[in-house]
């Protein structure tokens, strides 16, 4: 947990950002950013993608302790065997089927729009009856992806 906080603080400082400016960009308090950086709490999973985007790093860089350096000019590569298929899904409507232990109840049976990829994570907007839900989901938790045709 402490490692992620150190990475957030180091990258924020490298960019010349204050805790206040990062907090404003993420719609949280400065105290929240301070607690993340101190390692006393972790950011909510729905904030990880936003933090990575603002700091110009990958989600993998923030989440995995073994990844020490991140070159913001190079995007994290998806596994080569599936990267072409996944990249073709960007902007398309899909239904996700989750691995048994990884089921995301918010998105079960819900049509989602793929908005992008962050390393080995997929960014989607789920179109639920309660409104749109933006999620960052590890690809490893997805069993299958079905492309939904218009009007279905």
Phi, psi of 110 (to 5 degrees): -100, 140
Which two tokens mark 67?
């990844």
Domain membership flag for residue 103: yes
| Residues 52 and 92 occupy one common structural domain | no
CATH number at residue 6: 1.10.260.40
| Residues 9 and 59 occupy one common structural domain | yes
Q: Per-residue b/e over 84-94, b at no fewer than 16 CB within 10 Å? A: eebeebeeebb
Structural domain span for residue 57:
2-63
- Give the pLDDT mean for 75-97: 69
Look at residue 82 in the predicted model and tell me its pLDDT.
Answer: 57
Pairing of strands 131-138, 121-128: antiparallel
| Residues 86 and 142 occupy one common structural domain | yes
Given a cut of 70, is residue 10 above it in pLDDT? yes
Domain membership flag for residue 90: yes
Domain membership flag for residue 95: yes
CATH number at residue 126: 2.30.30
Domain membership flag for residue 70: no
| Residues 94 and 55 occupy one common structural domain | no
Domain membership flag for residue 20: yes
| Residues 126 and 94 occupy one common structural domain | yes
| Residues 33 and 90 occupy one common structural domain | no
The number of folded domains in the chain is 2
CA angle 122, 125, 128 (to 5 degrees): 135
The pLDDT tens digits of the residues spanning 96-133 come to: 888 877 666 678 788 999 998 876 788 899 888 888 88
The pTM for the full model equals 0.48
């Amino acid at each position: 947990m402490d490692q992620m906080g150190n990475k957030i603080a180091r990258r924020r400082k490298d960019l010349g950002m204050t805790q206040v400016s990062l907090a404003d960009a993420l719609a949280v308090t400065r105290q929240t950013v301070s607690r993340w950086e101190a390692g006393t709490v972790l950011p909510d999973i729905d904030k990880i993608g936003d933090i990575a985007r603002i700091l110009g790093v990958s989600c993998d860089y923030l989440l995995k302790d073994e990844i020490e350096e991140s070159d913001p000019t190079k995007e994290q590569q998806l596994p080569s065997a599936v990267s072409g298929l996944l990249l073709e899904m960007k902007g398309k409507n899909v239904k996700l089927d989750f691995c048994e232990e990884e089921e995301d109840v918010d998105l079960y049976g819900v049509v989602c729009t793929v908005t992008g990829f962050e390393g080995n994570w997929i960014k989607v907007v789920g179109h639920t009856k309660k409104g749109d839900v933006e999620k960052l989901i590890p690809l490893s938790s997805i069993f299958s992806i079905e492309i939904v045709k218009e009007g279905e």
